[in-house]
Amino acid sequence: MTILDQIIKTKEIEINYSKCNTSIVELEKLPIFKRTTISLSDSIKNSFHGVIAEHKRKSPSKSIINDSISLSQVIKGYNNAGVSGISVLTDNNYFQGSLEDLLNTRKMTKIPVLRKEFIIDEYQIIEAKAYGADAILLIAACLSNKKIKSLSECAKSIGLEVLIEIHNLEEINGCLIDSVDIIGVNNRNLKTFKVDIQTSKNLIKYIPSDFIKISESGLSSPIQVKELKEFGFDGFLMGESFMKHTDPGLEALGFINKLK
């Protein structure tokens, strides 16, 4: 069983527990559910850098990355850096994230917020909207084409944008649908956790120009980002390279300034 398989198994248990405690009707009654979302796609397109900065305390591959700095310090720093979007991990078991992190981030910024989660059920999409997300992540590796379609259409129906993450050529075809806004190429193999930037360079030619294209994982230098921009990428999801520093926001600011 891969780490991804383990995470999905845990997620199924979590979702059933959440459904028993808070119904969809209750989620839809939360004040923030009715807010007008901010377009992550537009924010990326209107930016010269396209950096989506992530709040991430730990990961299965790296263990603890940074659990000493407060969420408010990180988000304030990302705000000051002028990032295009903020990605918030909400998985607790493997990443030490939470829905409260998502909600508190929403309260602290007007920058588009992405819920980074292993989404396998429509319930999680309603949760995302109710806790302040503007966009959700879907991972093609753990979803059928049919499920990608139904989940992305659910998200679009309540005003959320959809970023779908792919890892190989086989996963692309099921993602080329109207209900997907952004296609992200993850340079990390979710089965082995090996990272290879070449993955982005190899796969971008198969992604139509209709979609916003972002590269994810393993990005650590402005040179890499500039090179990937030349290949046609619009945005870059970066977490560990900022979060491993004592001041992630300051690191993001310095990184973005080097892209000018």
Six-digit token string for 254: 């310095």
Instruction: Kindly report the pTM of this predicted structure.
Output: 0.95
Going by DSSP bridges, is the β-strand pair 235-238/51-55 parallel, antiparallel, or unpaired? parallel
d(Cα 154, Cα 30) in Å, to the nearest integer? Answer: 18
Q: Tens digit of pLDDT per residue, the chain (260 long)? A: 788 889 999 999 999 999 999 999 999 999 999 999 999 999 999 999 999 999 999 987 778 988 889 999 999 999 999 999 999 999 999 999 999 999 999 999 999 999 999 999 999 999 999 999 999 999 999 999 999 999 999 999 999 999 999 999 999 988 999 999 999 999 987 777 788 999 999 999 999 999 999 999 999 999 999 999 999 999 999 999 999 999 999 999 999 999 98
Yes or no: say if 169 and 140 are a contact pair by the CB < 8 Å rule: no
Which DSSP string corresponds to 85-110? EEEEE--STTT---HHHHHHHHHH--
- What is the set of active-site residues? 54, 56, 116, 165, 186, 216-217
Question: What pLDDT sits at residue 2?
Answer: 83
d(Cα 23, Cα 173) in Å, to the nearest integer? Answer: 34
Question: What pLDDT sits at residue 49?
Answer: 97
Torsion (CA) 134, 138, 144, 150 in degrees, nearest 10: 0
Torsion (CA) 103, 108, 114, 118 in degrees, nearest 10: -30
38 CA to centre of own chain: 15
Six-digit token string for 208: 């139509």
Can you list the positions of beta strands (E) in 125-243?
135-139, 161-166, 182-186, 212-216, 235-238
Q: Which CATH code is given to the segment(s) 3-257?
A: 3.20.20.70
Six-digit token string for 67: 């659990």
Query: Model confidence over 24-52: pLDDT tens digits?
Result: 999 999 999 999 999 999 999 999 999 99
Question: What pLDDT sits at residue 192?
Answer: 72
